[in-house]
Structure 1
Amino acid sequence: MSRTKTSTYEGFTAEERAAMKEHAQEVKKASRRTSRAEKAAEAERDLLAKIAEMPDADRVIAERVHAIVTANAPMLAPKLWYGMPAYALDGKVVCFFQSADKFKTRYSTLGFNDLAKLDDGAMWPTHFALAEVTAEVEERIAELVRRAVG
């Protein structure tokens, strides 16, 4: 019995392939670092450099997210994850910022992985669209980050 093809899967997009290559480079670079302090300092420098490369609209949001996360969850270690700014606990990513430019989307996002303690019943959001960072948005991000690690 033959199957007919109903969709046209073309594999990963160029942006997805680039993110995977970035992740492989991040892992390789991290393995060459020696001390824990050196790893942390270099990882944060890499993250800040990645933010600085972003288009202005994404960069402004990413800088605010970075400031909010580091102020409200200092136990999270900044690092790059698939070329995106991310924040990890014991080496595992809890939350991350994805710029709109990264995957050519309409808005940036703040995402939380399964380690984030955001559970709320049988269903809850794990990604949040960020069009701008107002005072209200800053407080919401701070509250989410505190809950994620709490």
Structure 2
Amino acid sequence: MPRHRLSKGREMSSKDEKNLGQVVDKIAGMDEPQRGLMQRVHDVIMDAAPGLKPRIWYGMPAYARSAGSPALLTLRNDERLNLSVTEKAPLRPAGGPDGTLMPAAWYFETIDADTEKRVAEIVRSVLD
């Protein structure tokens, strides 16, 4: 399969590049301010885990280990913006006051440096 170089020096197959284009187009079709927020979260995900492959999963931007594997993370644009970890990712009990509950979704309305840092931590945690 031919390889294509995207910006930021990433190598991607033509299938991965097509899938990335679909995710970028999906985000570009959103209204502001959601579009800007989703684009920023997409960038944080790609920077935190350059090996994840973006693609559309059930109509949402999603990220998986490969084009043929299940999505580990999704971005959802409903009444609120949402970053979710799918059941295909390793989930661990939260501990502390949350006991055996396993955090799997986070809503956001804005993106600041602390939120970007936490999103990057969540993204890296699905790769463990």
How would you bin the TM-score normalised by the shorter chain? 0.7 to 0.9
Which ranges of 4 or more aligned residues in structure 1 deviate by more than 3 Å? none
Q: TM-score, normalised by structure 2?
A: 0.81
Compute the displacement of 1:144 (Å). Answer: 0.6
RMSD: 1.6
Residue aligning to 2:83: 110
CA distance in 2: counterparts of 1:52 and 1:137, whole angstroms: 22
Aligned length: 112
Task: Say if 1:51 and 1:63, in contact at 8 Å, map to a contact too.
Answer: yes
Unaligned residue ranges in structure 1 (runs of 5+): 1-33
Unaligned residue ranges in structure 2 (runs of 5+): 3-11
CA distance in 1: counterparts of 2:63 and 2:88, whole angstroms: 11
CA distance in 1: counterparts of 2:92 and 2:36, whole angstroms: 29
* Structure 1 residues 55-106: Cα deviation after superposition (integer angstroms, max 9, x where no partner): 1111111101111111111111000112211001132100010013xxxx2x
Compute the displacement of 1:116 (Å). Answer: 2.3
| Structure of higher CA gyration radius | 1
Compute the displacement of 1:115 (Å). Answer: 2.6
Residue aligning to 1:92: 70
Matches within 5 A, 1:117-132: 117-120=90-93, 121=95, 122-132=100-110
Aligned mate of 2:48, from 61, 72, 83: 72
Task: Say if 1:97 and 1:111, in contact at 8 Å, map to a contact too.
Answer: yes
Hey, which of these two has a bigger chunk of helix by percent? 1
Structure 1 counterpart of 2:106, one-letter code: F
- Identical aligned residues as a percent: 29
Residue aligning to 1:5: none
Structure 2 counterpart of 1:136, one-letter code: D
Hey, which of these two has a bigger chunk of strand by percent? 2
